[in-house]
Structure 1
Amino acid sequence: MVKNKKSKKKGNKAPGAAAPQAIPAGGRRTRNSVNAGVVEGQSGVAGGPMEGIEGEDGPEQVAGPSRATQNAQATPRTRGDKRSLPQKVSDLLRNCGISPFDILNTIVDESLPQFESYRRPFYSNDNDRLTTFLTTISKSPRGKSKLEAWITSSTGVKFVGDAIGREMDELQPAYTLKGLRDITPEYIQDREADCFEQDAPFTMALLRAAAETKRQAAENTKKTPDRVCNSIMRQLLYQRSNRCLGFPAEFGFFLWATGSSRAAIEAAHTCGLSVRYQSVLNGLEMLSTHCMGLATATASGFHAFCYDNINLSTSIHVEQRGATNTPGKVTSGTFGIVYPLPNATPEAMLLQPILDNMRNPNYPGLSFEKDLEPSPDQLASILHQFEVHLIKIFDKYSPDDFTLADYDDPCLQHKPRHVIPSGRTPFHPIRVSTTEEASIKGNLKYQQEVYVDLFGLDPEKLSKYAIPSINDQLTNSRIRSGQILRVDDINDFHRRRIFQLAMGLFHAALNLVWAMLHVHRGSSTQLATIAFWIIVLEKVRLSGAKPDYHTAYAFLIQILEGVVLSAWKEICLLQDPTLTDDEKKNATATQKTKAFEKYAKSEPLASDLVQKAEALLSTYITPLPQPYTSLADDDESGSDTDSSTLDLESEEGYSGSEDDEASHEPEPAPSKSTIPPPVATGIENNPTKDKVHQNLRLLIRDTLYLLELVSAVKDGDIGRIEDILPHLAMIFRGAGSNNYCTEILHLVQCLKYMWPGSFADVMREIMIVNPSGIPGKNLATDINMEYTIREIKTLIIEKGLESTWDHVGDVSAAIENLKEIKRKIAAVLKLPHQNKGHRDVDTRSLVLRVAEKVEQEGLLKCKRNRKGNAKALSMPDLLESGGKKIRATIVTFNKKFKDFVAGQDMPGEEDELPPLGLAVFAEDDDEPPNEDEDLDLDSDLE
């Protein structure tokens, strides 16, 4: 602390003392008046205007009164000074004769160094005197007007501008990128939402003040300026530095991916919202390169590889330039996806143990009784899953008083069998290739192109581990044919043995729907046929040349729910203890509905729901057992007798035409693998006496298998699907879909015998994926491929790239990141949700219409000699007839598999069904024409 020296001469002032104040005109200056002025001027040390002001090293020492005055002041006073602070200030100013603002202006003047000791503490961060001073001025209308005038002056504007500039300078580094190459998949995935309210509060406050009135700020609850202000902040950052291009680049991708024109993107760039159009294309290429790097890194480890063809319509107006030069109306290529396998281990993925199992000379092949008939555990599981489906239908159409969510009983829930790991399934699309996989050679070429040319991997290293591949049946068939062609090549990659194949579950459901529509179609004049229900539900599109899968699936489920709902009403009526037998027998549809609602409101026990579901399944859904002799009914020796023996006659013809070995096998016994099991009603309910009733049972039973397949995929339970695989094979074989039956047999054989347990689990868990990571939103691996292809095609069509394929490869590789950008931009700007998928609609009226028709026609009851029964056609029991055919030809399948392992050509299967007539999506109209007679049911998808 600097101390002031005492004056050696009487009357001299100490250094730093205030100068004597001027004497007003007419006054008389005396020593006492000077001293009094000094004392009053320095009184701030004890509560005056300078109270609390300290120097750098402590309280500033100032000159005081003379020794005599000090002695006088040291004497105790009789009364304290009771003046208030405003009175003291007023007296001080009156005595000093100087304006207080002159004092303040003098002290804060930076050109006067003698007052630095006052300025320094006055401007310190912990001193709020200046803030209080300005706040006090702003509370005065006149003071506020003066402050506004200064702020809007050139000096004030510069002051505010400097403050904003400093805030933006501090904000800028967090948004600076080196260039478009920094827009990587990791950047897109991990980038956090902007928070300018915290990062730039002053600038945001000014923008908010400009964006809304005081009344709007106080009263508006929905409309806020946040989005506009945040957008302006992003524009300002991009204007300050073209390196702050995170949002502009992503917004440019967003505009490009949503179909905006070049002019629109350039206009957005001019407004500071987007990068230039050419920069968008450059950034897309760089992003695609990053994505391909991730795919290559994934392919270097344990992974699965799936691919399918992609077809793009060019134009219906094609200039004919001769047979060889005329461009096609549809151009085709191949698109692949790489899936990492995080749970795979080197021991599990070894290829050699799989090949050893395939080449095992002691392997006898599949056995019908051992491998294709359900075990007691599988049978119990299948029946339980079916019962849960029936109970869910009860819950869906019961009164609001009942809800299945109130029950916490495992018997009312699907029993888990083998659930895939939870969480999001990562996957990496790769560039679209112009190589078509629509042939065996095309498959071989595409595989070489991807793994050697695109990924740059060593074939020798690839030959050590297996690569799972999930595709549709036709692609798998071509891959197997390529394996036969390359059987003598130098390593297992070139022999293509590294690819271990499994059936795409979506294509299985797709072909199952097609088989059911074909087999159960019948005539519109015959009750309970597909054609009949099309008329009832007015599903005209299903009568078209190429209906879409989702419409057909929903149609079948509506029939199932309507029939089951009617059966629930019947069960609730029959098991109502308060009704007499006569009341039950003569009950009307209204009374049955009341019994149903009464039971639902009674809070039934879980065990009672299960008991009723079991009764419903066996009484109304299980097909009636077929008689195996023609002696059951002599009066039906006409068309009905022919109908009842139709399956046996066709079976004999099938066995003879399938292959030469089949004719030497013993005649197969009736299948015992009926699921659900036959009812114990004996032969009194002869299905030939009421073909309509039996046809309805068969249709509902087959639809239950379809529902279980789709539901198990959605739940991510591959074990439930594995339980029903043998019966799906029988249904496909019974419907004439021989290729899909064979594909399922290959899968069953591999799961049981070819693949070691750990690798079999890897294959199981990659057949179902969850791209969203949301529980209960699982997808079959092949439908994820179809969805991704649709996204690519939609974007290509929006950009008008169908004819040139420009940037198609970049789009396909970066498609998932473009989707993520669209999702995040929509979230940042709070755009309305754009759902391209279907929305669940209320189909309750259609289901009730089915239930009403079932009640009107008495379709739940087997009526002997129902009217029109003689002319009605019996629908085949696909499960039973398919089981007979598989039993008769299983030896042939085993022989063909041995030939396949040995590299001998296998004769192809021929389907008895017409080529697939279902579109994957309703808008699919760019598929190439079917010119290959050997194409199977997937021909329209290839």
Structure 2
Amino acid sequence: MTQTLPSMSWTHFPLSHWTSLFQEDVTPFLTRILKTAAQTKYAQAHNKIKTSQKMCKVVTRQLLYQSSNRCLGFQAEFGLFLWSTGCARQTIDAPFRCSLSVSYDSMLDLIESLSYHCDSRAIELAKEPHGMAYDNINLSTSIYVEQRGSDGPAKVQSGTFAVLYRLRNAFNHDVRPSLEELTSCHDQFVDIHIQQKVRRAIPVGYVTEQCPVRASTTEEVTTRGNLLFHDEIYLQHLKQIFQLGFGPFHLCLNWVWAILHVHRGTVNQAGSLSYFFAVMEKTRLGNQQPDYHTLLAALTQILDGLLLNAWDRECGATSLTEFAKGKPTPAKLREIAGRILRSDTSDTNSDYTDCAPEVNSPLQPQVDPKDDIAHHNIRLLVRDLLVLVAVVRTISDGDIGRVEVFLPHLAMMFRGAGCNKYCTEILHFILNLKYIWTPEFA
């Protein structure tokens, strides 16, 4: 059986119908015939690479188009693909003659219809908490001057393209570091490789809604260009007053650079990052702003090594292998982790260590760690790297509630690293969350 399509122009046909009308539950008998004809039983049982599912969908769509010229799901999608890859007009019209695509003129109408559809979705999304990602684009035209004409576009046109994203769980109107939130910080440090307590995570299977907006000829390569692009998108195009917030990835990017700036030191200073880079034979990390992923991998490796050394010292066994054979209980593991957190990360009277239960350990150092400069620097390095790894993992888990727990700490740490602008940005963001962005505004 087939489903009758509504009588409407294909330019106004809902995009969701392009895929939902051609599933096996809509044409079960036809799909079974096509699968039987496309593959033998032996191939269905043993061929794990080549399947007939995609081919059956294409044939089904072609048959629907043969039945009604309003069933343009495959033709419209394939035509958009040809146009997006820069195919010439004759190339697009050739599949059109074979009923594989729409004509070039219809393709232009479809693109215009899609642009209005994306605009309407973006305008509605802009009324809610959302994120915006944008980057520069370069559009190339014909290399032949006579084809462009005197009043035609330049050979290369630069601009900016943006995409809006719906933010789930974006607002929590009180991010003061309460005792419960400080305890959450402590737990994330202690159980950094264990499943964390969910605060406001994104549900499993949730797909972020994305709304592209029209490209702009305003370039975002300068600070002024960024500001002009923001005004053009929101004030002129979306007709919305916007409030800016920092991007999580940009926060991590600046945080790893701040850690490198504070802890770089020299090769001759034991405990400095330059010392560890030399020991691990790491390269391409000598400039002021190295590659983010390369630097993050190196910092994570350093933290893992320092934590393994601390566990080897505090576990009370001859080796970690012997300690694992003893099958320690979760309570024992948390006790040792809390002891390491107090003895190997900054001052023992810091906020997140106050939340841990006091444990009298004979293995704790009996001297002031500040008397040992190298040991003191390593304690500070471990503290900063723990925050970095915890924030990166929290962002990866999609739990905005756990990210907000670290905001006050990150503001202070950015200020201590000399990143005054980012400290001010975080404080401004906290102010908006607590007082400016009221529930009515959200």
TM-score (norm 1): 0.39
Structure 2 unaligned regions, length at least 5: 144-153
Q: Measured at CA, do residues 381 and 283 of structure 1 come closer, stay the same or move farther in structure 2, by a change above 3 Å?
A: same
Residues 560, 703 of structure 1: 8 Å contact kept? yes
Residues 520, 529 of structure 1: 8 Å contact kept? yes
Partner of 1:571: 314
Check if 1:434 corresponds to 2:117.
Answer: no
SS at match of 1:542: coil
C-alpha distance in 1 between matches for 2:303 and 2:292: 17
* Distance apart, 1:512 and its partner CA: 0.4
Q: Which moved more, 1:742-751 or 1:604-613?
A: 742-751
Q: Measured at CA, do residues 747 and 194 of structure 1 come closer, stay the same or move farther in structure 2, by a change above 3 Å?
A: same
* Distance apart, 1:743 and its partner CA: 1.4
Q: Measured at CA, do residues 421 and 697 of structure 1 come closer, stay the same or move farther in structure 2, by a change above 3 Å?
A: same
Residues 528, 692 of structure 1: 8 Å contact kept? yes
1:692-711 to 2 correspondence within 5 Å?
692-711=374-393
Residues 512, 732 of structure 1: 8 Å contact kept? yes
Please list the CA deviations of residues 382-419 of structure 1 after superposition, one character each: whole Å capped at 9, or x if unmatched.
Answer: 21221111xx2xxxxxxxxxxxxxxxxxxx64234455
Q: 1:443 aligns with which of 222, 227, 232?
A: 227
Q: 2:11 aligns with which of 181, 193, 200?
A: 181
Please list the CA deviations of residues 710-746 of structure 1 after superposition, one character each: whole Å capped at 9, or x if unmatched.
Answer: 2222334333333322221121111111101111222
Partner of 2:182: 379
SS at match of 1:696: helix
* Distance apart, 1:705 and its partner CA: 0.8
Residues 334, 436 of structure 1: 8 Å contact kept? no
Please list the CA deviations of residues 793-825 of structure 1 after superposition, one character each: whole Å capped at 9, or x if unmatched.
Answer: xxxxxxxxxxxxxxxxxxxxxxxxxxxxxxxxx
SS at match of 1:282: helix
Residues 180, 286 of structure 1: 8 Å contact kept? no
* Distance apart, 1:260 and its partner CA: 6.6
* Distance apart, 1:433 and its partner CA: 2.4
Q: 1:623 aligns with which of 346, 357, 374?
A: 346
1:161-180 to 2 correspondence within 5 Å?
171=2, 174=4, 178-180=8-10
C-alpha distance in 1 between matches for 2:20 and 2:44: 33
Q: 1:743 aligns with which of 404, 425, 429?
A: 425
% identical aligned pairs: 36
Check if 1:310 corresponds to 2:92.
Answer: no
C-alpha distance in 1 between matches for 2:398 and 2:61: 42
Q: Measured at CA, do residues 555 and 187 of structure 1 come closer, stay the same or move farther in structure 2, by a change above 3 Å?
A: farther
C-alpha distance in 2 between matches for 1:613 and 1:750: 36
* Distance apart, 1:446 and its partner CA: 4.8
Q: 2:329 aligns with which of 605, 613, 629?
A: 605
Partner of 2:147: none
* Distance apart, 1:297 and its partner CA: 3.8
Check if 1:198 corresponds to 2:34.
Answer: no
Please list the CA deviations of residues 346-389 of structure 1 after superposition, one character each: whole Å capped at 9, or x if unmatched.
Answer: xx9xxxxx9xxxxxxxxxxxxxxxx98x5544332221221111
Check if 1:506 corresponds to 2:249.
Answer: yes
* Distance apart, 1:188 and its partner CA: 4.5
- The residue type equivalent to 2:111 in the other structure is L
C-alpha distance in 1 between matches for 2:23 and 2:403: 42
1:132-147 to 2 correspondence within 5 Å?
none
Q: Measured at CA, do residues 421 and 277 of structure 1 come closer, stay the same or move farther in structure 2, by a change above 3 Å?
A: same
Q: 1:684 aligns with which of 360, 367, 377?
A: 367
* Distance apart, 1:445 and its partner CA: 7.7
C-alpha distance in 2 between matches for 1:523 and 1:331: 42
Residues 529, 695 of structure 1: 8 Å contact kept? yes
C-alpha distance in 2 between matches for 1:294 and 1:712: 29
C-alpha distance in 1 between matches for 2:417 and 2:169: 39
Residues 93, 103 of structure 2: 8 Å contact kept? yes
SS at match of 1:200: helix
1:532-547 to 2 correspondence within 5 Å?
532-543=275-286, 547=290
SS at match of 1:337: strand
Residues 129, 170 of structure 2: 8 Å contact kept? no
Q: 1:286 aligns with which of 109, 113, 118?
A: 113
Residues 208, 225 of structure 1: 8 Å contact kept? no
Q: 1:595 aligns with which of 298, 309, 322?
A: 322
Residues 624, 685 of structure 1: 8 Å contact kept? no
Check if 1:523 corresponds to 2:250.
Answer: no
Higher Cα radius of gyration: 1
Please list the CA deviations of residues 617-650 of structure 1 after superposition, one character each: whole Å capped at 9, or x if unmatched.
Answer: 223x21367xxxxxxxxxxxxxxxxxxxxxxxxx
Please list the CA deviations of residues 147-187 of structure 1 after superposition, one character each: whole Å capped at 9, or x if unmatched.
Answer: xxxxxxxxxxxxxxxxxxxxxxx75x636874441443433
C-alpha distance in 2 between matches for 1:240 and 1:377: 64
- The residue type equivalent to 2:136 in the other structure is N
Q: Measured at CA, do residues 546 and 187 of structure 1 come closer, stay the same or move farther in structure 2, by a change above 3 Å?
A: farther
* Distance apart, 1:514 and its partner CA: 0.9
C-alpha distance in 1 between matches for 2:281 and 2:96: 51
Q: Measured at CA, do residues 277 and 533 of structure 1 come closer, stay the same or move farther in structure 2, by a change above 3 Å?
A: farther
C-alpha distance in 2 between matches for 1:499 and 1:338: 14
C-alpha distance in 2 between matches for 1:181 and 1:714: 39
Q: Measured at CA, do residues 708 and 176 of structure 1 come closer, stay the same or move farther in structure 2, by a change above 3 Å?
A: same
1:314-329 to 2 correspondence within 5 Å?
none
Residues 307, 336 of structure 1: 8 Å contact kept? yes
* Distance apart, 1:533 and its partner CA: 3.1
C-alpha distance in 2 between matches for 1:417 and 1:227: 40
* Distance apart, 1:565 and its partner CA: 2.4
Check if 1:251 corresponds to 2:78.
Answer: yes
Partner of 1:851: none
Residues 256, 296 of structure 2: 8 Å contact kept? yes
- The residue type equivalent to 1:622 in the other structure is T
C-alpha distance in 1 between matches for 2:312 and 2:365: 25
SS at match of 2:4: helix
C-alpha distance in 2 between matches for 1:433 and 1:684: 62
Check if 1:723 corresponds to 2:405.
Answer: yes
* Distance apart, 1:268 and its partner CA: 4.3
Partner of 1:144: none
SS at match of 1:384: helix
* Distance apart, 1:592 and its partner CA: 1.2
Check if 1:550 corresponds to 2:233.
Answer: no
C-alpha distance in 2 between matches for 1:196 and 1:755: 47
Partner of 2:148: none
C-alpha distance in 1 between matches for 2:286 and 2:91: 43
Aligned-pair RMSD on alpha carbons?
Answer: 4.2
Residues 185, 290 of structure 1: 8 Å contact kept? no
Residues 176, 244 of structure 1: 8 Å contact kept? no
1:910-925 to 2 correspondence within 5 Å?
none
* Distance apart, 1:709 and its partner CA: 1.6
Q: Measured at CA, do residues 313 and 424 of structure 1 come closer, stay the same or move farther in structure 2, by a change above 3 Å?
A: closer
* Distance apart, 1:687 and its partner CA: 3.0
C-alpha distance in 2 between matches for 1:534 and 1:186: 52
C-alpha distance in 2 between matches for 1:720 and 1:342: 11
SS at match of 1:331: strand
- The residue type equivalent to 1:443 in the other structure is L
C-alpha distance in 2 between matches for 1:548 and 1:697: 25
1:258-273 to 2 correspondence within 5 Å?
259=85, 261-262=87-88, 265=92, 268-273=95-100
Q: Measured at CA, do residues 550 and 256 of structure 1 come closer, stay the same or move farther in structure 2, by a change above 3 Å?
A: farther
Residues 235, 271 of structure 1: 8 Å contact kept? no
Partner of 2:196: 414
Please list the CA deviations of residues 467-507 of structure 1 after superposition, one character each: whole Å capped at 9, or x if unmatched.
Answer: xxxxxxxxxxxxxxxxxxxxxxxxxxxxxxx5444333322
